[in-house]
Amino acid sequence: MHELKRLAERLVAGDLSAEEFLCRRKSPEIADGGDAQVDLDRSRRCGFPEVVFAQGKTVEAMEKIFKALIGHGLDVLATRMSAEQAVELGRKFPDGCHNPIGRTFRIPLSDQQPPDDCTGRVTIVTAGTSDLPVAEEARETALWTGAEVNTILDVGVAGPHRLTANLPQLRGSDAVVVVAGMEGALPSVVGGHVACPVIAVPTSVGYGASFGGVAALLGMLNSCASNVSVVNIDAGFKGGYVAGLIAKKVAEAR
């Protein structure tokens, strides 16, 4: 029904002919992109459209996927994109926005923002500036979900006063994403201050005994703060997606 409404709106606006409308109305929910089968029904089932994992994909393959998503009125988000891929795709999609730190590429189809009371609020928190690439992936993902996103940077537990100074902003959030490496203690501290879900994202930042983020992962999994849930190591996308989904549901209820 959601996709049918989009097609009807495009028909009324004159962006789609009657023949194209009838053809697409009868088309399957999968677009054949050659190397990829693009899921066009995912936003109805899961809340948001399919996201493209750029690593290992050719520019040609991603171009087909992007065109399939755009052709059905869906915003594009690609993660783990290299600078070389972004340069080529930027020429083909000049409206695209590349974040070189977060390694994301977004093509928003509309700049129209919903009213404040209809927008979920997500805050991204980092323990240190070394966690910024993962945090930026989370931020771009949460923005793609339509959430209002704020960031609080470099507030690790080595300087707890930096966190307490930002508590009003944290407490106004519908969901908080905490990105931390080393021992991964920050999500537990944040969780003890807020009455909303905290999504902990362990990063591979740290010295040898951090085991590439495993120490942070285990620390977060053993958090005594009951509102903390954990995603995979360096999985900024997953943290941002879950936070965006939570914020969307809260905004709808609000």
What pLDDT does 1 receive? Answer: 47
Dmax of the chain from CA atoms?
63
- The third-level CATH classification (topology) of the domain covering 116-253 is Rossmann fold (3.40.50)
Instruction: Yes or no: say if 135 and 151 are a contact pair by the CB < 8 Å rule.
Output: yes
Q: Please compute the mean of the pLDDT values over residues 186-209 and round it to a whole number.
A: 96
22 pLDDT more than 80: no
Residue percentage of the chain with pLDDT more than 70? 89
How many whole angstroms from its chain centre is CA 233?
15
Q: Domain residue spans in the chain?
A: 15-107, 116-253
- 3-state SS, residue 230: strand
Q: Residues 116-134: pLDDT tens digits? A: 556 899 999 999 999 999 9
Crossing angle of the two packed helices 59-71 and 83-92, in degrees rounded to 10: 50
Instruction: Yes or no: say if 124 and 149 are a contact pair by the CB < 8 Å rule.
Output: yes
Pairing between strand 104-107 and 76-79?
A: antiparallel
45: tokens are: 């089932």
Model confidence, pTM: 0.84
Instruction: Give 184's DSSP letter.
Output: -
- 3-state SS, residue 106: strand
Report the C-alpha dihedral over residues 114, 115, 116, 121, rounded to 10 degrees: -20
What pLDDT does 116 receive? Answer: 57
Q: Residues 88-106: pLDDT tens digits? A: 999 999 999 999 999 999 9
Q: Lowest mean pLDDT of 4-8, 23-27, 74-78, 140-144, name the range.
A: 23-27
55 CB neighbour count, 10 Å cutoff: 12
Highest mean pLDDT among 30-34, 45-49, 66-70, 213-217: 213-217
152: tokens are: 């609080």
194 pLDDT more than 70: yes
117, burial (CB in 10 Å: exposed 0-12, middle 13-18, buried 19+): exposed
Q: What's the helix, strand, coil split of the chain in %, to 5? A: 45, 15, 35
DSSP H helices, 93-153, are: 132-144
63: tokens are: 């171009």
| pLDDT range class, residue 25, cuts 50, 70, 90 | low
